[in-house]
Amino acid sequence: MGGCHSYASTSGSVREADTSSKAEEFCDIIGYKLKNNNTRAAPSLEEKPYLMQDYVSERIAEIDVRTLTELPEGFDKAEWMASHTVAFFKHINLFSSALSEFCTSGTCPAAVGPGDVTYCWTDEQGKKVKCSAPLYTDFTMSYIQELLGDEEVFPTKVGSPFPKGFEFLLQRIFLYLFHALAHLYWAHFRDVVRLDMHPHLNTLFVHFITFCREFQLLESSDTGPLEDLISTLCQYHRT
Ligand SMILES: [Zn+2]
């Protein structure tokens, strides 16, 4: 288990029973798909509940995220990317805040993501620092917020140019936002489900990933640990 939270059900629980039967169902599907001597092990649904069909198929509405993401004709690309960056930051920050009572230095002493990847903050001296998940979130969100408020980086006045290296900066911002989402899926998905937020989280994540792919903002090596979720979500949400 790579989660940093104890997920033992206290309610006895219909949800646990559902989980068990769905886990069997999912393993059947995976087993079927992996015939022909493909011996890759199916993911454990205990470890990755976000892959369960009942959850992964949920979203808030039928949305054509590809059209929503593509640069419309006549729009400035940098403006388009900047406005989406602000919107993704606000939404992801909102999710992190809504789940902050579950993500403490006690429950999450390290900022872990799928596959037990640990995200480290790089301090001003360029040194990597291991920190708790809430502290990592605080560092990264504060860093992004400061950039978004910097007129030199995200100009708001008409005709002001975006800086050189703007897209490189966006890549870093989107990497931090991806880490926040990855931590929520990996460590807090059961909390997300309890709060019935998973349709929103799935919709946001699909939109986020589609946007990153459209504008090459994330490396496949960065998204690799969540590739199983990404491909399953994209299949359900037809992106
Ligand atoms: Zn956490």
Predicted confidence (pLDDT) per residue in 46-89, tens digit: 778 888 777 777 787 777 888 889 999 999 999 999 999 999 99
CA of 104 to the centre of ligand 1 (A): 6
Decide: helix, strand or coil at residue 128: strand
- Residue count of the chain, please give it: 239
Residue 200, marked binder: no
DSSP 148-191: HT-TTTS--STTPPPPTTHHHHHHHHHHHHHHHHHHHHHHHHHH
Phi, psi at residue 117, to the nearest 5°?
-70, 135
What is the spatial distance between Cα 48 and Cα 201, in angstroms, rounded to a whole number? 15
Q: Are strands 121-122 and 128-129 parallel, antiparallel or unpaired?
A: antiparallel
CA of 136 to the centre of ligand 1 (A): 10
The answer for residues whose C-beta is within 8 angstroms of residue 135's C-beta and 6 or more apart is 105, 111, 121
CA of 47 to the centre of ligand 1 (A): 15
Structural contact between residues 113 and 225, judged by C-beta atoms closer than 8 angstroms: yes
pLDDT above 70 as % of the chain: 80
CA of 184 to the centre of ligand 1 (A): 7
Q: Please give the pLDDT value at position 83.
A: 95
Decide: helix, strand or coil at residue 236: helix
All domains of the chain in start order, with CATH: 14-237 (1.20.140.30)
What is the spatial distance between Cα 39 and Cα 217, in angstroms, rounded to a whole number? 33
Decide: helix, strand or coil at residue 113: strand
Neighbouring residues of the ion ligand 1, judged by CB less than 5 Å: 103, 108, 133, 187
pLDDT above 90: residue 123: no
Residue 188, marked binder: yes
SS3 content of the chain, % helix, strand, coil (to 5): 55, 5, 40
Which pTM value belongs to this model? 0.79
Chain centroid, CA 152 distance in Å = 28
CA of 218 to the centre of ligand 1 (A): 22
Instruction: Tell me the mean pLDDT in the region 140-158.
Output: 94
Average pLDDT of the chain? 81
Residue 183, marked binder: yes
Structural contact between residues 239 and 214, judged by C-beta atoms closer than 8 angstroms: no
Record the tokens describing residue 19, joined without a space: 């989980």
CA of 48 to the centre of ligand 1 (A): 15
